[in-house]
Amino acid sequence: MTDNSPVTAPELTRRGMIATGAVGAAAAAIPAPVLATTARPDQARAVTTIPVSLKVNGRTTALELDPRVTLLDALREHLHLTGSKKGCDHGQCGACTVIVNGRRINSCLTLAALHDGDAITTIEGLGTPDKLHAMQAAFVKHDGYQCGYCTPGQICSAVSTLNEIKEGIPSHVTGDLTGKPALDATEMRERMSGNICRCGAYSNIIDAMKDVAGVDA
């Protein structure tokens, strides 16, 4: 006997909707290469590399990189310059700060391939143990670090901050956008706010920057 009763859709509960959404989000988060490796060996896709030339601390190096490699990973894993740290990997802590073409950037947020031919300075390129950069020496003098994990990014950012002020680049606290920013602690604190020190050495960092800048304010 044929059942001619109408077919109804299954009830969509709140719990079911959340579970379905979670499964979909997890699937979308799996990188393509991982999905590719689940196929038969003869169907796996080869990862393509591209040539990237990085001029780091005055030395140019030719690399073959996966186009998805970040500048931070290229520096740490391929050039073995481990001074720049991977703190959050989301551009929120500043531990990975390096100087590219005279401007500081979060190296975890940019791809290495985007900086082909750029001049990159890391903490290793600012100074050496025998000949410290003025900012490095000031950090030592004023105890601008404790655990030291954030220090390379702090120093690179501090050097760039003083250059930004000297070049007249305004910040959020600059009162007169048509004039030159003040070389004072207020400007320094605002510009350094993207570099997090979990040990709380902020006041000492500002003292080190003021020392290098030659100001008392």
Residues 160, 95, 126, 62, CA torsion sign: negative
Question: According to CATH, what is the number of the domain 129-217?
Answer: 1.10.150.120
User: What's the gap between Cα 211 and its chain centre?
Assistant: 26
Does 204 score more than 80 pLDDT? yes
Domain residue limits, the chain: 47-126, 129-217
Average pLDDT value for the chain: 87
Q: Give per-residue pLDDT as tens, 121-175.
A: 999 999 999 999 999 999 999 999 999 999 999 999 999 999 999 999 999 999 9
- Closest listed residue to residue 57, CA positions, set 85, 77, 80: 80
Give the count of alpha carbons within 13 A of 194, CB side only.
18
Does 85 score more than 90 pLDDT? yes
The two beta strands, 59-65 and 50-56, are antiparallel
47-126 matches 129-217 in fold? no
- Is 47-126 in CATH node 3.40.50.80? no
DSSP 137-196: HHHHHTT--SS-SSHHHHHHHHHHHHHHHHTT---TT-S-TTSPPP-SHHHHHHHTTTS-
The pLDDT of residue 21 is: 57
Q: State mean pLDDT over 13-17.
A: 55
Please state, in angstroms and rounded to a whole number, the distance separating the CA atoms of residues 35 and 176: 54
Q: Give per-residue pLDDT as tens, 42-56.
A: 555 666 999 999 999
* Tokens standing for residue 210: 């003021």
User: What's the gap between Cα 66 and its chain centre?
Assistant: 18
